[in-house]
Structures are given as C-alpha cells and as structure tokens.
Amino acid sequence: MRYRNLAIIAHVDHGKTTLVDGMLRQSNVFREHQEVVERVMDSNALERERGITILAKNTAVEWHGERINIVDTPGHADFGGEVERALGMVDSCLLLVDAAEGPMPQTRFVLRKALALGLRPIVVVNKVDRKDARPDEVVSLTFDLMVELGADDEQLDFPILHAIAREGRAWREGEAPGHDLTALFEAILAHAPVASGDPAGPFQFQVANLDYSDFLGRLALGRITRGTASAGDTIVRLAGDGRSVRARLTKVYTHLGLQRIEVDQVVAGDIVALAGIEEVQIGETIADPDHPDALPRLTVDEPTVSVTFSPNTSPFAGRDGRYVTSRHIADRLERELLTNVALRVEPLGGESYRVAGRGELHLSILIEQMRREGYEFSVSRPQVIMKTIDGVRCEPFEKVVADVPVEATGGVMEALSARRGQLVDMDQGETRARLTFSMPSRGLFGFRTQFLSMTQGEGLLSHVFDGYEPYVGALRTRPYGSLVAMEQGEAFAYAIWKLQERGVFFIDPGTEVYVGMVVGANSRPGDLEVNLTKNKKLTNVRASGSDDNIVLIPPKRLTLEACLEYLADDELLEVTPKHLRLRKRLLDANMRKREAKRAAEAADTEDAVVAAG
C-alpha cells in the first residue's frame, strides 16, 4: 500500500475540521447508521466548547487502495508547537482559505513553516457559498502571500479547488460545482507525493507526539523514515542527553479513521504509534540497535509570554480545590512538559513557578485544564519575555490585522496607536476596512474587550508573532483602576447600589468577599476602596418616599481570558475549580500604597533611560 501524508493548514474557523469530517464520511470510514458528531477531530472538551483546534491530531482514510494520512493542525499561532511537530511528519499540505476573509495572520504563520520545509500546497477556497465570497481575489492574495514568504516556482504552481466543506462538496476551479469530495481526493493523489522511505533499510522513527494508555503506558507517535517494525522487535531509544536505551516494542499501531488499529508490522512512510518504550520524549529518535542513527531534534519557536503560578494564599484558599500545594502544582506542570513542547517552566524559588508559552490563549488553555482537574492556584498578569540582541534590549512584536466596520476605523486606529502600534497597511471597502499594524505584544494585553466594545461586537482581531524589535518604553494598557473590597463578609445589594455609579461590578449581591479582593472596575484611574458589607440601617419608623427602590445594573461576567486581560501588575487571579476571583497581590491597603509609589519611581527612571538611549 502507498501512503500520502498531508497536513491541513488554515486560520481559526476557516473550516478545516469540518472538511476532515466530510473526508472521513465519504471514504466510508464510519459504519452505516453509526452516529457521528460534528467536528469529530475536535475530541478535546475545550476544543468543542471553543470551536477551535488545540491539539494536532492525525487520522487516515483510504481512497482507491491508497492510504491518506491526514494531520489536522491548530489554526491559532499560540499552538504553533503543535503545528511545527505535525509538519515534520508530512510531505504535502492542504491550504484552506475562507472565500470572503482570505489569508489571515495565522494562515501566514503556518504557511511560512510549511514552505520553509519544502511542502507543496494544494489550495482549497472554502465557503464559496457566502454572500460576500470573492474566490478569485482570495486566490490572488494567497499567491501574493506565498511569493512574499519565499515560495519557489514549484510551490507557486499549486492546484486550486473550490469547496463548501459543511455540505461535503469540492470541485476544481473553473469546473461545475461537484456533489461530493471526489475532486479533492483526486487532487491529493495527483499532487501529494508518495511517502518516501526505504522499507528494506534499518528501522528509524522520530517521535512527534505522545499519548498514554492505562494498559500499555506511554505511546510514541510519529512517522517511520525507513525500515519496518513489529511487536517484539528490539530497538534503541536515542535520548536527548546522548544516552542510548534499549527497549522492546510490545504493540505497533497504524491509523484508519479515528481509530488506532493493531497490526503485525508497520512500514516506512506510515504515521504510526509504538508501545513499550518507557520514558520516551518528543523529538527523540527510535532506531535499529545495529544502526543507531539519530535524526535532527525537532525545533520549536521559543515562547514569548509568561505568567507566574503560585499556591493560592487568599483567605478563601483550600475551599474548592483538591490539589492546592506547590508540590501538586509542580508535579502537574512537569507532566504538561512531556507533551506540550512549546511550554517552558522555571522554578522561581519559594513556591512560585514561571510558566512561559506562545501567547495568552496557550497559557489560558493550560490554566483551564488544571482548574477542571481540581487544582487551585494563583496566576499573575501575563508578561512578555525580553531578549538582548546585539546589546539592545528587545521585546516581541506582533503583526495585527483588525477587520472592522468603516465607522469604527478611526477609533480603532487611535486606540492601537496609543498602544505604540504602527499602521503598516490599510484596505478600505464600502462597509468594512482591514487595518494592519505592527505593535509590541504588550500592547495587546487587555485590548480585545475594548476592541469588541469599540466595534459593537462586529470587529475581527487577529495577530501573530512577528519577531523581536527594540523596546519602546512603558505602556499604559488599562486606563482605569479597580474597585477593591475593604471589609470581609457578604456583599449587600444596598452597598452595591450606592456604589454602582463609581464603576462596573463583577459580583452579585450575596457573594462572599475579603479584604483586598477586586470586586469591580473603577470608572476613573486609580483604585477605590469600597465597603460592600454595609447594609441599610433599619428603624421602626416608616415614611412615604424614604425607602428607595434598589435597581441594580447586572454585573459584568469575566471569562478566564477576560480575567487575564484585566489583571494589572499588582493583581493576581485566584483560580479554583468553582470560582475565578481577582485580588490584589498585597491585600493590605497601606502596603499597596507604598509599593505603588516605588513602582511609579522605577517606571519614570526606565522611561528616562529609553528616551536617552
């Protein structure tokens, strides 16, 4: 059997997981009358809730006697570690582009990686049934993007298909619309190269991903570059530290549909799973003991954003969580490092750990997973990771694309410019405008909520890491302060009603609060201490008009990402299985004032150094 290894590349929500659904159905992977959910490849609970792909997963279909291994990659740059590993296993890629939106920042991010590896793309323009579809213009933009990213002549000679993935239909450009995905399968067999690898050579395999089985232990997933392997074979694991560790394979698996199928033998070119190799790590080479040839280790872009994890020290600590100590947190982070190759964990001394990732979303997914597993901890505000390049202090920059209604263009440009953004390109249509900015990653912290308000929920904001540039100085990303509780107890409706003109509250009446807990956003700069435990004094005297009708403005509900966006440098997010609470790092108000004074003096000094430099 011949193998074709193919990665699907697309921006978030351009329909790649839906397209894989159609390919699985039309290749008769599922039994007749088998109940199948939508987006079957998004098997993770968080992926289903958010409608995005987080983990790179592989499946396989058979078409006319040939097996097509499909790797569904994340479309978000924060999960670039998953993308880089996936691209190392394939020989071709399917570039999926929305017929209306065209190539977006994450398309650019993943496509750059694929072209650098020499992969030849097959372009599929999806959602051509949209009213605002512009497929010809989108193909032209895709071609221009490939030229800009350094594609060679062979890569630029790509086949083009139109598709409606939701309906399971695809056809070649210029032909009549098809009724199924036959044209797509034919294009893959015609343009995706047959997987290379000498089946007669000594065994060699690189680990691209890990899985775990309660019965078999750790499973190594990856592509066989040469040779064959069977259960019972003796192999050698070439560890990252230079050691060679012998092991015996207990099971070998290939893929078909969504299932792993145990087979007697796996051969070169296939994407497989191997069991029986203890302590195997991502990037290591598994080889024949007589020919221990190591493959180059996988390289993954360095993280750009970090947060600090520490045990929860609030007065309500330990109420909800099962795992609350620093030892529990450290063990869980160590386990995450086994499979999350883009993550970095650094002990800070005491009980804190600096956790670095590719972006806020990358870190928030980890926080949400730990929370659901019963962990309780505190998280600091995200910080960018600085570098010194040629003696110059540099910070990460982002390429930002804002797709906004024309009437909101001025406000968005002003807001991004205030965050040190530089306008690179502007494309204005009749009703919408697309603004391209280059700006510091720091400038985007806390901007998404403001952006949605400015565009009345109609704006689309995408960004991707664009390299390191010289540090631009201090930024003020949050123009308002916090409402901070000054007494512990139950929040009363009367107290909230009296104070609601001062800002926006995050809590309901009846919520328990403690000293130093952030209960809302102040409408003005600076923090405001508020007493929410104060109730109306009751007397026996009643008079007409003396009893006010209490009408409360509904509180603002913050998601995990919104909480991370809101945090200031002197605040922490208290994460428990049942609650997300914002709090001050220092609960005592007098200590906070002294610390704020010192921080202001340090910021003034830093600005003076940048201005002088």
Tell me the per-residue pLDDT of 272-319, one tens digit each, with 9 for 90 and over. Answer: 889 888 888 888 899 999 988 888 877 666 788 899 999 999 999 989
Q: Which residue has the higher pLDDT, 212 or 337?
A: 337
Q: Which residue has the higher pLDDT, 435 or 301?
A: 435
Report percent pLDDT > 90 for the chain.
29
Q: Output DSSP code: residue 246.
A: E
> Does residue 470 contact residue 388 with C-beta atoms inside 8 Å?
no
Could you tell me whether strands 92-98 and 120-126 are parallel, antiparallel, or unpaired per DSSP bridges?
Answer: parallel
Please state the rounded mean pLDDT for residues 166-190: 89
Report residue 178 as tokens: 């098809």
pLDDT tens figures, 498-545: 999 999 999 999 999 999 999 999 999 888 999 999 887 776 666 555
Contacts of 138 (CB under 8 A, 6+ apart): 97, 98, 99, 100, 102, 103, 125
SS3 state of residue 411: helix
- 305-384 has which CATH code? 3.30.70.870
Q: How far apart are CA 424 and CA 47, in angstroms?
A: 33
Nearest to 483 by CA among 528, 517, 524: 528
pLDDT value, residue 342: 76
Question: Which residue type does 60 have?
Answer: A
CATH class of 204-287: mainly beta
pLDDT value, residue 422: 92
> Does residue 99 contact residue 126 with C-beta atoms inside 8 Å?
yes
Domain 482-596 has CATH 2.40.50.250: yes
Q: What residues form DSSP beta bridges with 427?
A: 434
Task: Average the pLDDT over each of 24-28, 77-81, 419-423, 489-493 and give the range with the smallest value.
Answer: 77-81
Q: How far apart are CA 65 and CA 68, in angstroms?
A: 10
Q: Which of left, alpha, beta for 314 (phi over 0: left; psi -120 to 50: alpha)?
A: beta
Measured from the Cβ of residue 66, the count of other Cβ atoms closer than 10 Å reads: 16
Please state the rounded mean pLDDT for residues 407-422: 90
Residues listed for the chain: 613
Helical spans, DSSP H, in 292-325? none
Nearest to 101 by CA among 76, 138, 131, 73: 138
Fold for the domain defined by 3-191: Rossmann fold (3.40.50)
Nearest to 86 by CA among 264, 176, 209, 168: 209
CATH class of 389-470: alpha beta
SS3 state of residue 501: helix
Global pTM value: 0.73
pLDDT value, residue 39: 42
- pLDDT above 70 for 57: no
Contacts of 559 (CB under 8 A, 6+ apart): none
pLDDT value, residue 82: 67
Report residue 197 as tokens: 């690898």
Nearest to 583 by CA among 572, 593, 591, 575: 572
Task: Average the pLDDT over each of 154-163, 184-193, 350-359, 460-469 and give the range with the smallest value.
Answer: 460-469
pLDDT value, residue 326: 92
- pLDDT above 60 for 56: no
pLDDT value, residue 76: 55
pLDDT value, residue 77: 55
Please state the rounded mean pLDDT for residues 403-428: 89
Q: How far apart are CA 215 and CA 363, in angstroms?
A: 30
- pLDDT above 80 for 570: yes
Decide whether 305-384 matches 482-596 in CATH topology. no
- pLDDT above 90 for 323: yes
Please state the rounded mean pLDDT for residues 159-184: 89
- pLDDT above 50 for 36: no
Q: What is the pLDDT of the chain when averaged over all its residues?
A: 84
- pLDDT above 90 for 581: yes
Most confident of 253-262, 391-400, 532-541: 391-400
pLDDT value, residue 38: 45
* Residue 42 confidence class, pLDDT cut points 50, 70, 90: very low
Domain boundaries, the chain: 3-191, 204-287, 305-384, 389-470, 482-596
Q: How far apart are CA 369 and CA 582, in angstroms?
A: 19
pLDDT value, residue 140: 92
CA atoms 357, 361, 363, 369: torsion sign: negative
Report residue 303 as tokens: 């993280």
